[in-house]
Structure 1
């Protein structure tokens, strides 16, 4: 009887582990950042996600993000668009449409130094967010350029 009970116990425990399936994952790679998690970039496969603290909302959990896949070298193209915006005369905002978001690159000058802010609107939820002001040096740090 003991052997029959142990055999039944092993079969039942073996079936319960049969429900667990290991799925393949793509590693997350943290790229450049500005400040202590004020603005940073994360890469998962070909997907790039920009995270930033929303300056309009002072809660600790007020992190917003926007993301896109790196199709046709879009990550490098975004860097070039941002840097070119610093050199534009006169400075003007640039509006970008991403798969799930609208992103405005809002350029201004503070203390005779140009800065940019990310201003985003999510297409599905209509939630908005504004990043801190970023200088050319901050953008280079964010995109890991020297």
Structure 2
């Protein structure tokens, strides 16, 4: 009888810890995607996902994220597209909060292309590389082809809008830059 009670107690204990918990569904908004490279938005965070061609396993997908603080998404797009016009002599190095990204330009079949090279966790040992992208593919990824580039500056929630309107410092804050005094990026 003790063994039966002990068996039921163990089974009840296991079933308590194995319950399924439903998590809140955080929605990602796809800005644009072409082949294995895509740009996604979640609140004010933007993520670029890509298939890592630097690994032998072709099912390896990597990503890097950043916030759109001062129009960084538009700035990144302009930086990439300017590289198609005037190809830089060396890679353009960008430091993100968690990673280092290099924009590597190369001509493939006479057409300028760009490749993302990611140093994961700012460590030169762990490198991910995207496919080479043409100007048309970059336009598609950044939502210029489908009109989703308008989502760059849209606020995340209505709560944030109401909080900004009711804030007493909102009316005394300096006006936002209209883009005429942007700093040159190297």
Indicate the TM-score class for this superposition, using the shorter chain for normalisation. Answer: 0.7 to 0.9
User: Residues 52 and 70 of structure 1: is their aligned pair in 2 closer, same or farther, counting only changes over 3 Å?
Assistant: same
> How far apart, in 2, do the equivalents of 1:89 and 1:31 lie?
26
The match for 1:69 is 67
Alignment partner of 2:49 out of 28, 48, 51: 51
Q: Unaligned regions of 5+ residues in structure 1, if any?
A: 1-15
Shift of 1:89: 4.6
> How far apart, in 1, do the equivalents of 2:88 and 2:49 lie?
28
Runs of 4 or more above 2 Å deviation? 21-27, 89-92, 123-127
1:145 aligns to 2:144 (yes or no): yes
Output the TM-score relative to the length of structure 1. Answer: 0.76
The match for 1:28 is 28
- The Cα RMSD (Å) is 2.2
Q: Give yes or no for contact 1:26–1:45 (8 Å, CA) kept in 2.
A: no
Higher deviation after alignment, 102-111 or 117-126:
117-126
> How far apart, in 2, do the equivalents of 1:64 and 1:26 lie?
19
1:103 aligns to 2:93 (yes or no): no
* Greater share of residues in strand: 1
Shift of 1:124: 5.7
Q: Give yes or no for contact 1:33–1:40 (8 Å, CA) kept in 2.
A: yes
Q: Give yes or no for contact 2:54–2:127 (8 Å, CA) kept in 1.
A: no
* Partner-residue secondary structure (3-state), 1:78: helix
> How far apart, in 2, do the equivalents of 1:70 and 1:127 lie?
26
Q: Give yes or no for contact 2:120–2:127 (8 Å, CA) kept in 1.
A: yes
* Partner-residue secondary structure (3-state), 1:123: helix
Q: Give yes or no for contact 2:46–2:65 (8 Å, CA) kept in 1.
A: yes
User: Residues 90 and 30 of structure 1: is their aligned pair in 2 closer, same or farther, counting only changes over 3 Å?
Assistant: closer
Q: Count residues in correspondence.
A: 126
> How far apart, in 2, do the equivalents of 1:117 and 1:138 lie?
11
> How far apart, in 1, do the equivalents of 2:114 and 2:53 lie?
14
Shift of 1:137: 0.4
Output the TM-score relative to the length of structure 2. Answer: 0.61
* Partner-residue secondary structure (3-state), 1:71: coil
Shift of 1:119: 0.2
